[in-house]
Amino acid sequence: MVKRLEGKVALVTGCGSSGPGWGNGKAMAVLFAREGAKVYGCDIHLDAARETESIVREEGGAMSVAQCDVTDPGAVEALVQDCVTTYGDIDILVNNVGTARLGGVVEQSLEDWRLVFDINLTSMFLTCKHAIPSMLRKGRGASSTSAR
């Protein structure tokens, strides 16, 4: 590896896999670490995040993880603050959470609609709201959203 991300800090939401194998978040977190980034990851399922952390650490990379409901404004604010405290200002933000509920508007409940909206959109707003000030302090940064 070239270590193109040496000295960078990456925050990856949804860093665990929701099933067996490798999901997008796990793959990105491991690749960022292989490229030299310090990775701070979160997942609603802490065991899944810890599995990713274990892979990164076994390969000699730096990663810390936390459990986080990214639809909870206070939890997201605390997550970003802990990332900054642990590794310094954020260079890379990956919003890698998403969900879907099958069915059309007639079959959908309002609760399911709100859940999908909060997980897919509100979470991205919250992480950007709290992570972008860290990027502005550095004068640079990158944010992306991963389709699930």
Tell me what pLDDT residue 19 has.
87
Domains within the chain, CATH numbers bracketed: 9-145 (3.40.50.720)
H or E segment and range at residue 9: strand 9-13
Tell me what pLDDT residue 140 has.
74
H or E segment and range at residue 31: helix 24-34
Query: Is residue 147 exposed (0-12), middle (13-18) or buried (19+ Cβ within 10 Å)?
Result: exposed
Tell me what pLDDT residue 18 has.
85
Both structure tokens of 80: 């970003």
Tell me what pLDDT residue 86 has.
98
Tell me what pLDDT residue 124 has.
97
**Contact of 66 with 60, CB cutoff 8 Å:** no
User: The whole model's pTM is what?
Assistant: 0.92
Residues of the chain where predicted confidence (pLDDT) is lower than 50: 148
